[in-house]
Every structure is written in structure tokens, then in C-alpha cells.
Structure 1
């Protein structure tokens, strides 16, 4: 099969479009013929060597996958050849630890992330995934939308609903709102009854963010602080919740934008840089610093139903053939797209 393989960290030239064997399946595995694979900034960070934890090279990038089952392992019950499926972001979980047994499988100590762990990734014609990490695609939902549901919708659904417990009438700030996660977060926060402020450094994307449900759009120059704008919009009080997709580059602006008793949910970190702060800055305002990672299979199933019902729409920026994965990474690095790029092996 054709696949995009990275043997060692580097620039886009480290991505080689080559022939590799179709992956074998074990008793718990499903072999999926890939129809669509999303391109996440996580992929860029893995390829560059910024993300190291859990990474085993050589690898096939990509953790946002949808396709059709073509082979089923002997212990992979509940699925059959011909089923249309989408994956969570994982290749493997243990299935029996406390986290796996309580619908928190992204926290499994044995988890292996698709696109990070060896030759199990979405930038290929086929992928082998253990059945615990796969959900059926509802009728009426296309492969492109299904591929990105777990990561873009499921991750912020997890963050805003299950971790952040956003309530009707609360004010929610979405950082990096025009990115792959941000465009979905605006929609999810709005659907939860929040008053949504969308932050972006791209003025040309402000109108789109309003269409997605942003009540107020904060535009600023890249690298410039924006907390003064947030405080002005909230009468000097600050926001109840921040869903932060960016991390270190906006850390100080986010801290200053939160009201007393606010909740800060971190879901993204776009650089390898660290940040220094005095914990008293959070303690004196009783700010809760929370994190949300990945998507459970139950959350994926729930989000696919949201997509089916038209309550949330995955934002697809471009569709490219698999052999143009390097170009997709160039576009991601330039931050010139809104939403996700889809790679199709048969495009």
C-alpha cells in the first residue's frame, strides 16, 4: 500500500510517500481501508520532533481516520466487513484498567496513539486498529466529516461538557478560534448555551467565526496581548471559562482574561516552550487550571450523532490526495487555513 512514512524528525522532506506492506491484524484488530484522513497540527509537531512522548519512529502520521472495514479479527466482535467506521485517536488501549472501565480510556497507561506509535496511522491506504477504538458511522454522515469528528469535535466536546461543565449563560473564550479545534469549540459552546467570545489573529476569518456562532470576535496581531479587549467586553469582570487551543504564546493573556473563580481548560500547546508563573496568581482568584485530552469512544459516538443531526458541522478547509501530505503540512505551518485539511488515498 501507499503511505506517508517519517523515519526521523525533520522538515516536510522527512515525509516519504512510499510503498509499505498492508498491516497485519491480530485477534482484536480491524483492518480499515481508509477513505479520509484529517491533518492535525499534532501531526506537524510529531514530524518536527516537538512531541516525543509515546512516539516510535519510523511511523505513519495521522490519527483522524474514517473508512470501511475489510477484515475483522477473531475477537473483534460487533463489527463486520463492509461497516463504515471512524476511529478515536488511539490504536490500542488495555481495556481493563480503571480508566478504560470508567469511560476515560484516553488516560489508559498502555494507550498507543495513532500516528505516533509506529506504522499505525491515517496517512495511508489501510490501517489496523483495535476494535475498542472504533465507532460505526451513522447513515447520512460522510467519510470526510466522520474522519475529523473524534479529534476536532470530540476533544472540545470532552473539554467543554465533561471537563469544564459549561453552564447556560456563562461566558466562554475560545482561543485559536479559527483553527481545527477552535471552529468546532465555537459551535459546541454556543450549543451549550454559552455567550461565546472567539479570539483570532486573522481578521479575514472574523465573519466566518460569527457565522459559526461567536457572539463577539476578538482580533489582534499575532503575538500581541488581547486581555484588555476581553475585559472590555465583559465589563471588567473577565470570562467564566477559557478553552485554550494555543498554550504558551497566549498564557498571560488568558490568565488576565479569567474572572475570579474561572475555569481554564487547556487542550492545545503549539510550541515546545515552557512558561513561568506564580501559582498565587491563580490561587488568589480561585482559578481552576484543567486539561482535556482526546476523545472516548462513547464521546465519538455521541459527536457523530450531533453531526448527523446537523447540530455541529465539521469545518473542512481543503481536500487533497494523499501524495500531497507535504503541501498540507506547509499550509498548516503557515496558518492560512480555516478548519481541517483532508487527505484521501484515492483522491
Structure 2
């Protein structure tokens, strides 16, 4: 498509948008006899048309001014009703001649909109509510570029490059990434310690939170603009089985989605998808921790500290093991009753459950000695891939030694999100910029990170 055709299409679409909005406003007035109808800014943001400074969207700006002028006239009709009701402009557009998405080259222009606001409680049933956050409409067209950190081969650094924006297939959604968590497993992939489930090159990053930007065929129950996270499944995970979240957009299977509550922090939501769910799975799903249990948590790093807090929230009395005394005060703030420096100090306590977030062999054998007869040891950490333990202890005490990894169930992620949204669970995490992802992974590799890292991306 030529530059003139591209700009012509944008101008035509903006003109149709003006007509659709005018018709929608008139229809609402006629149907409901409301006192006030306001148009919450139909914004047209220009992004440097070209070096010559040509105003490619002059016609579009004029359209915006005419819509705003009409809205002001409508506002002068009288006072607002007691309760505002908000209907997405998108609903009107779907009934007009305007296509569901206006394709605009991101290097030239960006069309955005917020909402048509109808301030009349009487017509609540005839309009759809939405937040004052503008949905990310339009979504990028097929072939449009996005920034991504790409791993070409193991033992090589990530490469920042333009990549094609992924388009959702049947049963999928595309997500505009707002925050992406950095995980030590990505270091394992880069160093060749953890095997890949797909071919390289690959965009890493499996912890993502963002807004739905496009819907694939057959997807229902979700709308463009919904804030979401996705459950991570071993056979279906961004950054593991397909391109991931060290990029501006990712694909997620719709059946794995969990909607985020209003106001939740993007970084906390991203960390919840893996750090939160991994800890939850080790403590609740496989550890089966319940109120009244006496629980040992071995390793109070990012996962262990989160796991300790979840156990406290479940009503357990929690004892921690962490050689770094600098973490002890933070553990007590999370509700941990007592912290020990070595797992051997738990021996003889006959704990109901021990969750080993370290997994160095000695920690697991120590857990077998410290847990009660008929107790459980939930193994989350993978400090060593092979180790030996005293099978007599396991058998004689009838201990259940359970390996633990997330199962990709949205209901597990939902419970963690609920804990975060309530303020009961705060995942210790540090924010980075998108361009700092390689440096953050290097810090993880050197063991310099306390808690978790996540990178934020602009809206």
C-alpha cells in the first residue's frame, strides 16, 4: 500500500467515525430523553508524520473538533443525572459502517478513543458499562512491527529486534503486554540447562500481564481492552512453547485467561502468573496446607517468601529456613513465626508439611528428618537435578514426597490474583524498563536479585 493510500484510508475511517458517533449520540438522546450526553475525548494522537512535518491528520483533527463542539452544546442542555453510565464507542461502531479496526501505521499515527458517556441511570440496561481506561483499539495490523528481545541460540545474548506482531488463531487472544516478569528459568534456557519445547530463535518471557488487543476466531466472553493474565501450562506457555512476553504483544489461549480486577498493579499481576502460582501450587495444591498446620518453608527467596505468606494466609503456623539473615526481618513481617539458618535446626519439630523451595539435596533430606510421620514434603526447588536421600526415613515414617510444578489451571491463578488484589499478598519485586531485560537476567544469573524482577512497557 502506498503512503497516499494509507493516509487516505485513515482519513476516510476518521470521517466515518465522526458520522457514527453523531448518529449514536442522536439515537441515545431520542431513545432515553437524557439530560446530558458527553463524548469523552475521541483522541487522535499524532506521532511525527514524517521529517517534513506534514500534517497528515488535519482532516481528522477537524473531525475531532466538530465532535467536541457538539458534545459541549449537549452538555449545556442541563445538569447531569445522579449516576453516570458509560457505553463503549465500540458498540456503536459495530453497528455502523466503520470497520471493527482501523489500520494505521504505528510510525505515523495512532487512533485512540475512550467512551461515550450517557449520564442517566434510567437507561442503564440499554448501554454497556466500561471503565475510563481507553481500550487499545485499533490493534496493530498483520505485519506491523513490534520490539522484542530474541534468543537466537543458547549461550548467546538476547538480541533486540523488530518482530511481526502475532495474530491470534482460533481460540487465542493477542495481548498488549504491560508488564513481564523475569524468571530464573529463562537464565536456564539461555545457558542450555533447561531444554526448549520449541525451536530457536525464540522470544523468551512467560510471566505477562496486559490488555486484550485482538480476538481469535471462536473466542467468546472476552472483549478488546480487558485487562488479563494467563495461566502457564507446561504444554502451552509463552516463552516456552511459543514466542513470549519479552515483547510488546503475545498470544495466549483464551481458556487460560483470568481477568484482572480494576486497579491491580501490572507488575504484581505479572509476577503472580509464575512466582505466585508456583508458590501457591507448592503450598496449597501439593503441600495441602490448611488452617492449623505447622509448616516449614525452606528457602526465603522470591518464591519461598511468597509461599510463606500464602501459608500464613491459609491459617498455618510457619517456620522458615534461610541462610541469609538479611531476609529474616522481611519474613517475620510476612507472618513467619521463627526463622532458622539451616534445615537441620528443624529436626525433631515433627512439622505437618515442609515445602522445599531450595532443592539442593541436603535441604530435602533435612526436610524428611523434620517432618512428622505421615507428613508431606512438597518439592519445588531445583537447586540440584540429582541427589540421594535416606529411603528408610521416607518409608519408615510413611512420608509423602511430592514434586510440585504449576498445573496451568486458571482457578489457581485466580486465587493468587485475589490475594494480591486484596492486599494480603504482596510479591516482593523490583521494576525495570523494557530495555533493561538483558541486564536483569544477568543479575539473576549472578544471584544478585532479592525477590522478583519485572519489566514494564508503555500503554
TM category (shorter chain) comes to: 0.7 to 0.9
Q: What secondary structure does 2:354 align onto?
A: strand
Aligned mate of 1:152, from 275, 282, 296: 275
Q: Which residue does 1:6 correspond to in 2?
A: 151
SS at match of 1:248: coil
| Contact 1:54–1:113, Cα closer than 8 Å, also in 2 | no
User: 1:278 deviation in Å?
Assistant: 4.3
1:316-347 CA-partner distances (Å, limit 9, x unpaired): 1x211122112111221233322210112339
Q: Which runs of 5+ in 2 are unaligned?
A: 1-145
SS in 1 for 2:364: helix
Query: Counterparts in 2 of 1:301-316, with a 5 A limit?
Result: 301-316=414-429
Higher RCO (C-alpha under 8 Å, 6+ residues apart) = 1
Match in the other structure for 1:30: 173
Does the 8 Å CA contact 1:46/1:55 hold for their aligned counterparts? no
Paired position in structure 1 for 2:409: 296
Equivalences for 1:225-236 in 2 at 5 Å?
226-231=342-347, 236=348
| Superposed CA RMSD | 1.9
1:24 positional shift: 2.1
Q: Please point out which of 328, 332, 338 is paired with 1:216.
A: 338
Aligned to 2:396: 284
Question: How far does residue 292 in structure 1 lie from its aligned partner after superposition?
Answer: 2.4
State whether residues 59 and 117 of structure 1, in contact with CA within 8 Å, keep that contact through their aligned partners in structure 2. no
2:387 alignment partner, one of 263, 275, 283: 275
Q: Structure 1: how far apart are the matches of 2:297 and 2:411? A: 24
- List runs of 5+ in structure 1 lacking aligned partners: 91-105, 220-225
Among 410, 432, 443, the residue aligned to 1:320? 432
1:188 matched to 2:310? The reply is yes
Q: Cα offset for 1:315?
A: 1.7
SS in 2 for 1:5: strand
Alpha-carbon distance between aligned partners in 1 of 2:357 and 2:186, rounded to the nearest angstrom: 15
Give the match for residue 217 of structure 2. 74
Q: Deviations over 1:169-212 (max 9, x none)?
A: 222111221x2211211111111111111222221111111111
CA distance in 2, matches of 1:55, 1:217: 41
Instruction: Provide runs of 4+ in structure 1 moved above 6 Å.
Output: none
Larger Rg: 2
- TM-score normalised to structure 2 length: 0.65
Secondary structure (helix, strand or coil) at the match of 1:336 reads: coil
Match of 1:137 in 2: 260
> What is the aligned counterpart of 1:116 among 237, 240, 243?
240
What is the CA distance between 1:55 and its match in structure 2?
Answer: 4.5
Which residue pairs with 1:94 in the alignment?
Answer: none
